[in-house]
Chain A
Amino acid sequence: MHEALEVEALSKVYKSGTQALKGVTLKAEKGQLLTVIGRNGAGKTTMVRILTTQLEPTSGTARIMGYDVVNEPEKVRPHIALVPQEAQTNQSMSPWDYVFYLTKLEGFSSAEAKSRAVDALGQVDLTSLAHKPCFALSGGERRRAIVAAAIASKAEVLFLDEPTTGLDPIIRRQIWASLRKMVEKGRTIVLTTHLMEEAEMVSDKIAVVDHGTLVASGTPSQIKGTVRAKARVVIKGNGGDGFSSYGELVKLGDREILYLDRPETANEIVSASLAKGLSAEVSPVTMEDVFYKLLGGQAE
């Protein structure tokens, strides 16, 4: 029984000499939403482009639904759909045109393509704007039309490269709901994003990529478990220096984030902060904190 996605020691060196991927090994089961997160230039889009048969890897293998993306691209393509990063619509097309024609190219009859287009546009809340030309729509509305085209597809594996960038929180959540519905129906989704809340909310599995290398992978809670800190205190106003013995202190201008290895010390810190006239807020570590710590980021 094959996985929906199997990537083995995948590497890519561009002609310019840039090494975008360095031996990445990764799997996604059928009906799983895998989110790939990483900094800009980490290699996420290169990976998506190889997996969607657009780019040849330098070495390694990748299989989608059991088919090799290098040697059997014609067998891979009927199983995949893609929302490319920063994709745009033709200004003269309406969302309906965009979704209908792209769906028709999957071999559907006009009637089937129409019905799928209507359904997909409804899922991204574009029904009332379906026949308006894209030049009369906002950037977010145009972006939703592109996502709708992937939703309308019959593909079992969907690759969505930063699909919710630029969308407002309400629409973003509608799209998350659509993604989860598709996963419930057995489709596999490979998502890339910079939004850590998105990664945490929608993913069954997260892969963290940095400089072309897989840094961590697992369920959102497993990823969170890879860092020692379990809670954090955000201290507002300069003066948190005295707390550095409690854990790692990260300065963000006049604010500080204190990562606590022992959450039970939080109350002590809050009381001491208030006594110094500082405000302090305790919360569990977020995915963004974990990302920051995994990739060794420094705010200042």
Chain B
Amino acid sequence: MKTFSDAWTIAKMKSVPDMKRNPLTIAILLLLTGGMPLTFVYMFGGVGSLSGGLVGAFVSSAPALALFASAQDINFDNYTKLRQIFVSKPIRPVAYVLGTSLSSLIYSAPGIVLFGLLLLQRGLFTPTTALLAAGAMLLGWVVVSSMGFILSGYLINASPYSMNAIINIFAFGMAYLTPVYYPASSLGAFSWLSVLTPISAAANIVRTLGGLAPMDGLTFLSLAILVVEGLLFTLVFVARSRWRED
């Protein structure tokens, strides 16, 4: 129980003061996950593609930020020595990671709410499918967060610049290159590739729930892989998480 309450305290510590005093960073996030990609979706796909684009914005906001946070927060906490203070407190490393991930969820909440409301306003979801869509988005966030922290754990001895660069390449690649803002069917015979990365897999599920894609093998495969990845990465992460250095 203390692990969860510690995680919640860390999440608030890492998000609330920043959001309160630097509200413009929320605008930057909205531009990165919504404004910019939706502009391109509209320009190249027309009005008809906007619903699919909104699904992408809704699904990618939290996971993309979680991935950035996994590198930036670890680097920043090392630099400010906050990590040393956390280690010397009765906090489990899992609470630290969970808190850092949760902070990305709090930070991206305005975007999730905005894009979710826009999807509801377009009449794509019933209350039940909206809840399921939120669940799929959260599952994607869990997988990406665990992946990010595992990756950061391997890169902990790399320079902060390399760590940030590698994680950013992953985040941008997963959010913008894979079928998140555009349908998996655009990949033709390679549409199955969309199940491999968590954000596009979550997008496949949300598109199906919103009636933008048929419920087919790809949907079930996306769900199955997300669940397996979620369990696997979380277990690997928990097993690897430790405070002390050699």
Contact = CB atoms under 8 A, between A and B. Distances in A.
Interface of A: 15, 49, 52-56, 73-74, 77-78, 80-90, 92-94, 97, 101-102, 104-107, 133, 149, 159
A80 B85 CA distance: 10
11 contacts: A53-B88, A54-B88, A73-B244, A77-B88, A82-B84, A84-B85, A101-B9, A102-B89, A105-B10, A107-B2, A159-B88
B170 interface: no
B21 interface: yes
B216 interface: no
B80 A89 contact: yes
A97 B246 CA distance: 32
Contacts of A105: 6, 9-10, 86, 89-91
Please classify the interface of chain A as helix (H, G, I), strand (E, B), loop, or mixed, using the class held by over half of its residues. Answer: loop
Interface string B85-98: 11111110000000
Interface stretch (B11-19, B61-69, B223-231): B11-19
Contacts of A77: 88-91
B244 A55 contact: yes
Nearest to A75: B90
Given A53-B243, A74-B90, A92-B18, A104 B85 contact: no
A281 B183 CA distance: 85
Contacts of A88: 79-81
A207 to B, nearest CB: 20
A56 B244 CA distance: 7
Contact of B85 (A55, A73, A87, A133): A87
Given A54-B88, A77-B89, A101-B12, A15 B21 contact: no
A88 B82 CA distance: 8
Interface residues of B, number: 29
A43 B55 CA distance: 55
Contacts of A53: 87-88, 243-244
Contacts of B22: 92
Given A54-B87, A101-B9, 17 more contacts: A49-B84, A53-B88, A56-B244, A56-B246, A73-B244, A81-B89, A82-B84, A83-B85, A85-B81, A87-B82, A87-B84, A87-B85, A89-B80, A92-B17, A93-B13, A102-B85, A107-B90
Contacts of A106: 89-90
B62 to A, nearest CB: 20
A54 B243 contact: yes
Given A53-B244, A55-B244, A56-B245, A90 B88 contact: no
Contacts of B243: 53-54, 73
Contact of A92 (B10, B21, B85, B88): B21
Nearest to B8: A104
A169 to B, nearest CB: 25
A87 B9 contact: no
B17 A90 contact: yes
Interface string B1-34: 0100010011011001110111000000000000
Contacts of A54: 84, 87-88, 243-245
B146 to A, nearest CB: 22
A83 B84 CA distance: 9
Given A101-B12, A101-B13, A105-B9, A86 B81 contact: yes
Nearest to A135: B21
B14 to A, nearest CB: 8
Contacts of A87: 80-82, 84-85
Contacts of B88: 52-54, 77, 80-82, 159
A95 B245 CA distance: 29
Query: 8 shortest A-B CB distances, which residue pairs?
Result: A87-B81, A84-B81, A101-B13, A82-B88, A52-B88, A88-B80, A84-B84, A77-B90
- Residue of B2, B16, B84, B88 ringed by the most chain A CB atoms within 10 A: B88
B90 A104 contact: no
Contacts of B245: 54-56
Nearest to B91: A105
Contacts of B89: 77, 81, 102, 105-106
Contacts of A90: 17-18, 76, 80, 82
A144 to B, nearest CB: 15
B3 to A, nearest CB: 11
Nearest to B12: A101
Nearest to B19: A92
Contacts of B9: 101, 104-105
A164 B79 CA distance: 19
